[in-house]
Amino acid sequence: MKKLFVALVTLGITAGITTAQEIPNRPARPPHMQQRIQRNAGDPVLQQLNLSASQKEQLKKEQEKALEKVLTPEQKKKLKELRNEQERRKETAAQKRDANLKEKLGLTEGQLTKLKTLQKEFSEKMQIVRQDVTQTVQQQRDRTRELLSQQQKALKELLNTEQLEKYRKMMREKMRPPQRETKRTEQREGMYNPQSESMRPNGEI
């Protein structure tokens, strides 16, 4: 199994180099987009190999077996504590997001449940598009537009006009890059003008 993991890493690096060579005209993404993609991308080696769900699960089990053999009892205890703490934080953060979404949009429990399902399904489909290195940039854009259109249709059926407008506003604010990062990017590209901020009402970006 050790040889398998070495082979996976080697293949992942090789595939990454090959992909970069095959798509030389892919436009560079803004820094905040790069960071978001990196957070959601997952293991790049597994992406390049297009492993099935059962194969990924098997690799996960093998990794756990390897940890069991290598770690000391104290390290195993620490790892378990860290994982439990991570799960608690994720659960707490999810509860806060749900409560905030429900309050700001005035959602019923049924609407909240359906909206979370829509978000999850959309996120999973978009991740597949981003990870599909066999598609050209244009194909990825076309597929993204198609998914966005489907998502908007589903949202219109779920939310009323006021809720939909509030939701869109929340999503726009979420997708907006941090002001500090925007300034740095514009400064690097010679586009940033500090005087322009005084012309923006209420500090809008």
46-58 pLDDT tens trace: 666 766 778 888 8
Rg (CA), the chain: 22
Taking 70 as the threshold, does the pLDDT of residue 148 lie above it? yes
Q: How far apart are CA 155 and CA 40, in angstroms?
A: 23
Name the residue among 50, 57, 40, 60 with its Cα closest to residue 19.
50
What residues make up the domain containing 89? 56-105
**Domain presence at residue 197:** no
Residues 131 and 153 occupy one common structural domain: yes
Q: 178 falls in which pLDDT band (50, 70, 90)?
A: low
Residues 68 and 114 occupy one common structural domain: no
Residues 100 and 113 occupy one common structural domain: no
Mean pLDDT of 35-44: 50
Looking at the chain, the whole-number percentage of residues with pLDDT higher than 90 is 43
pTM of the model: 0.54
Residues 144 and 168 occupy one common structural domain: yes
**Domain presence at residue 128:** yes
Cβ(44)–Cβ(11) under 8 Å?
A: no
Q: Based on the structure, what is the number of domains in the chain?
A: 2
**Domain presence at residue 95:** yes
Give the three-class secondary structure for 145. Answer: helix
Both tokens assigned to 187: 């400064």
Q: How far apart are CA 155 and CA 101, in angstroms?
A: 14
**Domain presence at residue 36:** no
Mean pLDDT of 10-14: 41
Q: What is the mean pLDDT of the chain?
A: 75
Looking at the chain, the whole-number percentage of residues with pLDDT higher than 70 is 61
Q: 10 falls in which pLDDT band (50, 70, 90)?
A: very low
Largest CA distance in the chain: 62
Q: How far apart are CA 201 and CA 62, in angstroms?
A: 56
Both tokens assigned to 31: 């820094």
In this predicted model, which residue has the larger pLDDT, 205 or 64? 64
In this predicted model, which residue has the larger pLDDT, 29 or 57? 57
Cβ(164)–Cβ(156) under 8 Å?
A: yes
Name the residue among 61, 62, 64, 59 with its Cα closest to residue 79.
64
Residues 98 and 117 occupy one common structural domain: no
Both tokens assigned to 39: 């957070």
**Domain presence at residue 41:** no
